[in-house]
Amino acid sequence: MNTQPQAQLKVQLKACYPWFDTFLGQMLSRMDAQKCHHGMLLLGPEGLGKADLAVQLAQALLCKTPGQRGCGQCQACLLFAAGSHPDFHQVQSEKQIGVDDIRQAIEKLQGTAQLSGAKALIIHQADSMTESAANALLKTLEEPTRQTYLILTSAKPHRLLPTILSRCEKLLLPQPDKADCGRWLASEQIVAEPALLEMYYASPLILRQMANAEAGLGYQDFITALDGLRQGSTSAVQVAGHWQEQAARFVHWLQHWLLSQSKPPGPQFNQWWPLYQASLVASKQLTHPGINKALLLSGLLSQLAGISSRSV
């Protein structure tokens, strides 16, 4: 039975990001009412803060102070903060999560909890599990041991096996709107280009990352590169060589820039449209490992230079 007023619970654990405030409050209430699903799938775009939220949910589940969730004071919370809670595990990988990663993680969940409370496993970017890794996880999702919680995160749920999807509670996380995101950036003392805020307001952590972009690879550098190309002071090959490591970002910005150039639809729109289509194809091609990014970018940029020289 839920005997703790929600307002008090919220004081115990403040959401990692303001757009999760209400959601976290609701989840804490559900935990108190013992109404949390053992398999939770947190869904939202990349850069929303899913990983940090998953960690907060795990802390709340493991906290051992009666009636509180993530008190920060109990033995479980202290061990959690120190990164050494014996019943808390995480799996993540830069590329793919393999079957061995999942087997090892599941093994750690076997047996009784060392702190005799709950056990929690987070699988970050669960869509990066191989098929055999996902299959290895199924049994645990189907027959969880008591007080064992699996928290999965994903920005690409279409890549998850249907069997995984059907065994999890799918939680579509709230996203900030442009104003929310702007306020948060200001509170973090981050200055973002208006064009970037327009593109990424639902992915504030990406904006934060971009604010610290490597010198020469920021949004203003992108605009300068386009100007140089259109005026003929730089070549497509030069720009492509400079940006090849950030090719996906470059193409995304280019798409946005093309749309902003061609509003409202008119002669301009027709002029840019073939390049916009080519940029969509390029985005897809860039997801293939081994693609020659410099060559791909330089193809797009030559097309851009061609249009510009015709229209100057």
Which stretches of the chain bind Zn ion, using CB under 5 A?
63, 65, 71, 74, 77
Determine contact, residues 121/91, Cβ cutoff 8 Å: yes
Tokens describing residue 202: 């639902």
CB of 12 to Zn ion, least distance (A): 8
CB of 182 to Zn ion, least distance (A): 34
CB of 110 to Zn ion, least distance (A): 24
Closer of 42 and 63 to Zn ion (Cβ): 63
CB of 65 to Zn ion, least distance (A): 5
Closer of 14 and 183 to Zn ion (Cβ): 14
β partners of residue 154: 43
Closer of 77 and 301 to Zn ion (Cβ): 77
CB of 73 to Zn ion, least distance (A): 6
- Tokens 């091609």: give the residue: 285
Residue 292: CB partners within 8 Å, gap ≥ 6? none
CB of 68 to Zn ion, least distance (A): 6
Q: Which residue in 97, 169, 94 sits closest to 131, CA to CA?
A: 97
Q: Which residue in 293, 280, 287, 244 sits closest to 128, CA to CA?
A: 287
